[in-house]
Amino acid sequence: MAKVLVTAPIPKAAQTILQQAGLTVDTYTGSGLITPAELEKRIVGQDYLITPLSTQVDQTIIDADPDLKLIANYGAGFNNIDVAYARQKNIPVTNTPKVSTTSTAEVAVGLILAVTHRLVEGDQLMRTSGFDGWAPLFFLGHQLAGKTLGIIGMGQIGQAVAKRLAAFDMDIVYYQRKPLPNDQAQALNATYLPLDDVIKRSDVLTIHAPLTPETHHLLTAESFAAMKDTAYLINAARGPIIDEAALLKALQNNELAGAALDVYEAEPQVDDGFKALKNVVITPHVGNATVEARDAMAQIVADNVVRVERGDAPLNVVN
């Protein structure tokens, strides 16, 4: 009977699919993330690996299990896996694209509203000292209508964000390696610009690009210096796309109006400097943390394992 190692608890739908297919499922349920040592030990003799993007699967892990037939990553990203080495070993790596789009786009919009309208800051105020009552100049934020939204990465999530914020009467500019086809860009009322221009023009700059060697530290101290000092930066993509130390310094020096972060360069660690700033909203990587998205992701990883077990090619192969 084929064996499946699942390195973190995932929705029960996946377990049901796997067991109905006659597979033996071993799920890690220890406290915190599975350690590299524990993963290296438990993967031995497994036929399939289902793992969240918080778990690193490197050459050592892959070499520990010569029987491995598939690595099914529970997440749209896959930078936690050495996909090139897996390809050398003829092990397909799959991800769970598309099903995270709506949830992540909604979270990005929520972060934008929260930081520009100071909602989290207001909540904290009401839970502590309270306020003296409505006043014309009290606790002012900024409306989105008439402002420019800059999007870095106009894939499915970037497009979903553009669609939603067009309804807020924002002007939309974007950058990615290749412009969208004209009909898609027109449907979104989005204008392609070089990266430097998007950075300079944006009142709200939101990141929706994948993490690759080319996008690592795509935004640096120079980028933040070029932004408007009234602009806000949003990151619900991957932490290392931003030079986080440079961002913190820019915020401390009032080079930006604020930031909202759902991902971090040394995740799950968050620099205490961000926690000390009232104009920064920080959330614990909840971009696709909805019942709907996580159930759909569970269905995808389990279905891919079953497909390979019955001799079919898996879907959403990234290597």
Q: Where are the beta strands (DSSP E) in 220-292?
A: 232-235, 258-261, 280-282
Residues 53 and 121 in one domain: no
Answer whether residue 159 is part of any domain. Answer: yes
CA 84 to CA 56: how far, in whole Å? 14
Containing domain of residue 252, as a range?
Answer: 101-282
- 296 and 254 within one domain: no
Asked, for residue 122, whether it belongs to a domain, the answer is yes
pLDDT value, residue 59 = 97
Q: Are 108 and 234 in contact (CB under 8 A)?
A: yes
Q: What is the mean pLDDT of residues 98-109?
A: 97
Catalytic residue positions?
238, 267, 285
Q: Cα 32 to chain center, whole Å?
A: 20
What is the number of structural domains in the chain?
Answer: 2
Same domain, 185 and 197: yes
Q: Rounded distance, CA 27 to CA 9, Å?
A: 6
Q: Decide if pLDDT at 16 tops 90.
A: yes
Average pLDDT for 286-299: 96
pLDDT for the residue 1: 85
Same structural domain for residues 46 and 107? no
Residue 274 lies in a domain: yes
SS3 of residue 129 by DSSP:
coil
pLDDT tens digits along 198-232: 999 999 999 999 999 999 999 999 999 999 999 99
At 154-178, the pLDDT tens digits run: 999 999 999 999 999 999 999 999 9
Q: Is residue 315 part of a domain?
A: no
Amino acid at the residue 290: T
User: Residue 79 pLDDT > 90, yes or no?
Assistant: no
In the prediction, which pLDDT does 155 show? 95
Same domain, yes or no: 170 and 262 = yes
* CATH number, residue 152: 3.40.50.720
Asked if 296 and 245 sit in the same domain, the reply is: no
Regarding whether 128 and 22 lie in a shared domain, the answer is no
How many C-beta atoms surround the C-beta of residue 96 within 10 A? 26
Residue 316 lies in a domain: no
Domain identity same for 163 and 175: yes
Domain presence at residue 155: yes
Longest Cα pair distance anywhere in the chain, in angstroms? 70
**Residue 13: inside a domain, yes or no?**
yes
